[in-house]
Structure 1
């Protein structure tokens, strides 16, 4: 214990811990918007921490490399080699001090994020624990790797090269995990870093295969780094590479190859809680009374349709930020994706007023858009406005599409389509809405859907 206390005072251990706390907090604050979804769920909070980890990781490795060069800088390498005390004991004490402080700092930062969620009235579950353990293990093993590199290559350029190289690896890994569709392949090697840019959602987390694969890899990396640190011969250093080699082989066989297998719905936060036919996720349970009132009213109005929907569910799909919502004739899906308005900022559907939620459920006659998120089809947009107006008793702005409503030209086209639709007899209007609903369920050509709705 005396040696450990000395290393805590004389080494960069406490500075490394401070770097984790300060840089992690600062970078997370810089990349976080005021209405970030992660503040609503402890699991999402730890997942959001993977973004600033790219910077924290590089700084920690750089400090560890600098610390690993201490004996060489002080020119006492031969002196310590000649002492009777085993070298692995002294170096093990140093490694324990620096890696231990960094691990504690990462755990404290993780606990701080959970505390933010708690103080904000968010949802807390044990789902954040695997994510926290992975980050702690990743940073601790990276410290050991940095110490080993510093001791093995005591050159003035080693520190800046290691720092820049780590940051470049983190950046490349982040880009390698950017996709356009759930089925897109991802690099398993990119998952051997702790870096990941998650979607702005409080309903998703990494899959078990990712957590296990990364834990195996970082554990093997830590063992190899420690063995390299304490080895005195090149043969011993080469033998020390075996744990990392086995770990990377096992990890790559476990890690997913497709993006859809990387993210999954949080099994705890995403579990549905219901009030009659209306269900929302547990993480949004506070919004259930408002959603239930709006949902029941919407279902009552939609009941005039043949094969009318009977339930309203929040869309908790892990891929809802990339693909259109699934088709269902029985369930009206309420999106969990955010809505941006210039005047009102970034809001989520469950944060809307009851009347606005009801309008969203009316749009498309209870069928979610066929257009993928962050894309728009103008004809489908008009269909959604006209069908919502039919059940609402008049046109009104859809919260999910304020830009079309507030644009003079597009608003005029909506009004024209509405007048053509209202010119039909009442029974004909219902038949056309019912037909449009069936076409939307099959995601048929939006132009044909609009023509069937408003054509003379």
Structure 2
């Protein structure tokens, strides 16, 4: 084993995993990246740069598998009394073992980074780490087998490019714009995934189980192909991967809404009176609780006024309209700017906007009329128009701003009870996501 560690690409492959994984993650990480707040999110974020690491590791493994052919000792080793599977098994253990250890160290380093940064650490990262380790280790075994069976100068570059293209294609297949979108199950047979900018989600149990089964079967097939000498044995070697693929495809989900779920550890609610936040954001609870009680007191003038404030921990919050309820003011935590970065005054206005009901526009879209409704309702409870952190486009446009001020004057020209009735009506329309133009017309006294 010591000899194989010295003369094989094992240590180099491990170094590639650590260096490439860390470097690519640093390149795709922004200053305000949310994965730094949750260990599970950190491991999920690693699935994006793993596409490059995966391709490089496979390329090195294929190159290593061609060693006997390059040295022209294949016939010599075949003639020795020592079983071939022992020698090749030592090589496979060395390379795959080092890669597995390096992958585990990379994952552990990310968890340590989260812990040292004051983030939330839980056992939720373990299935994600296991999947990454199995994916890279099994790919090494398959790469060694390919290099041994196809010792051609083009095998290494073709394997590297093919792996990267497979990873890219799978990642693109998982990029959807609605929770109910159908996805190809085959895309989940790769370790690559482009996670949303969230610190509250993780992969579902079915995804974890399916990937673990698949990569385990793939690793067994890779090892059997590596040590097989006859055509019949090579054909039999494909059985574990075939069975694993069937089992995995039977478990893996077909809808994107079943791929991501709320992290059961980080998403658990922690409450201070009527205000509840997720555990990963519990540090902000004292500030939000103080603001929340003030907001609920102001909203108490409404009929069927809300009595609770809860963080929206929905896994599909990045693809669907914000959650809403008549008795609860849901605090959005996945949009920009982050509510945790707002001042208490800005946070209060955001919660009052829409009379405690979020907008109906889908994420990454805007509706100027809905923005006007939110500005008007926030202004009603605030006693005057002011900028909303989430509606800076409407507020900053001179044309749209003029429309907001005109609608504000129309609303304030009504008797006090009429103003309250109109705000209450607008709130009920936002609860059912009715047409934003009609909602605005109610407030603007048209």
Q: Is the TM value for this pair above 0.5?
A: yes
Match of 1:132 in 2: 129
**Is there any run of 5+ residues in structure 1 with no aligned partner, and where?**
340-346
For residues 164-214 of structure 1, give each alpha carbon's deviation from its aligned partner in whole angstroms, at most 9, with x where no partner exists: 000000000001101110000011000000000000000000000000000
Q: Is residue 8 of structure 2 the alignment partner of residue 18 of structure 1? A: no
CA distance in 2, matches of 1:294, 1:327: 19
CA distance in 2, matches of 1:48, 1:164: 23
Q: Is residue 270 of structure 2 the alignment partner of residue 273 of structure 1? A: yes
Match of 2:436 in 1: 446
Q: CA deviation at 1:232?
A: 0.5
TM-score (norm 1): 0.97
Match of 1:370 in 2: 360
Q: CA deviation at 1:413?
A: 1.2
2:375 to 382, 385, 392: 385
1:225 to 222, 226, 242: 222
Match of 2:319 in 1: 322
Q: CA deviation at 1:351?
A: 2.2
CA distance in 1, matches of 2:69, 2:440: 76
Q: CA deviation at 1:285?
A: 0.3
CA distance in 1, matches of 2:155, 2:302: 71
Match of 2:201 in 1: 204
CA distance in 2, matches of 1:337, 1:244: 39
1:244 to 241, 259, 278: 241
Q: CA deviation at 1:401?
A: 1.5
CA distance in 2, matches of 1:445, 1:416: 20
Q: Would you say the 8 A contact 1:287–1:351 is kept in 2? A: no
TM-score (norm 2): 0.99
Q: Is residue 150 of structure 2 the alignment partner of residue 153 of structure 1? A: yes
Q: CA deviation at 1:350?
A: 2.0
Q: 1:338 to 1:448 in 2, by over 3 A?
A: closer
Moved more, 324-333 or 48-57: 324-333
Q: What SS class does the counterpart of residue 366 from structure 2 fall into?
A: coil
Q: What SS class does the counterpart of residue 180 from structure 1 fall into?
A: coil
For residues 315-365 of structure 1, give each alpha carbon's deviation from its aligned partner in whole angstroms, at most 9, with x where no partner exists: 1000000101233100001101231xxxxxxx4112211111110110000
For residues 109-129 of structure 1, give each alpha carbon's deviation from its aligned partner in whole angstroms, at most 9, with x where no partner exists: 001101110111000000000
Q: CA deviation at 1:442?
A: 1.1
1:253 to 250, 255, 275: 250
Matches within 5 A, 1:176-215: 176-215=173-212
Q: Is residue 40 of structure 2 the alignment partner of residue 43 of structure 1? A: yes
CA distance in 2, matches of 1:418, 1:5: 78
CA distance in 1, matches of 2:326, 2:436: 18
CA distance in 2, matches of 1:409, 1:25: 47
Q: What SS class does the counterpart of residue 333 from structure 2 fall into?
A: coil
**Is there any run of 5+ residues in structure 2 with no aligned partner, and where?**
none
Q: Would you say the 8 A contact 1:324–1:370 is kept in 2? A: yes
CA distance in 2, matches of 1:397, 1:101: 55
Q: Would you say the 8 A contact 1:321–1:373 is kept in 2? A: yes
Q: CA deviation at 1:75?
A: 0.2
CA distance in 2, matches of 1:257, 1:209: 11
For residues 206-234 of structure 1, give each alpha carbon's deviation from its aligned partner in whole angstroms, at most 9, with x where no partner exists: 00000000000000000000000000011
CA distance in 2, matches of 1:401, 1:119: 35
Match of 1:78 in 2: 75
CA distance in 2, matches of 1:439, 1:285: 32
For residues 346-390 of structure 1, give each alpha carbon's deviation from its aligned partner in whole angstroms, at most 9, with x where no partner exists: x41122111111101100001111111111111111111000000
Match of 1:98 in 2: 95
Q: What SS class does the counterpart of residue 185 from structure 2 fall into?
A: coil
CA distance in 2, matches of 1:191, 1:48: 16
The CA RMSD over aligned residues, in Å, is 0.7
Q: CA deviation at 1:35?
A: 0.5
CA distance in 2, matches of 1:412, 1:26: 48
Q: CA deviation at 1:454?
A: 1.2
Match of 2:409 in 1: 419
Match of 1:429 in 2: 419
For residues 282-336 of structure 1, give each alpha carbon's deviation from its aligned partner in whole angstroms, at most 9, with x where no partner exists: 0000000111011110000000000000000011000000101233100001101
Q: What SS class does the counterpart of residue 189 from structure 1 fall into?
A: helix
CA distance in 1, matches of 2:117, 2:395: 34
Q: What SS class does the counterpart of residue 375 from structure 2 fall into?
A: helix
Q: What SS class does the counterpart of residue 266 from structure 2 fall into?
A: coil
Runs of 4+ with >4 A deviation: none
2:29 to 29, 32, 53: 32
CA distance in 2, matches of 1:122, 1:338: 19
Q: CA deviation at 1:449?
A: 0.9
Q: CA deviation at 1:415?
A: 1.1
Q: What SS class does the counterpart of residue 91 from structure 2 fall into?
A: helix
Q: What SS class does the counterpart of residue 181 from structure 2 fall into?
A: coil
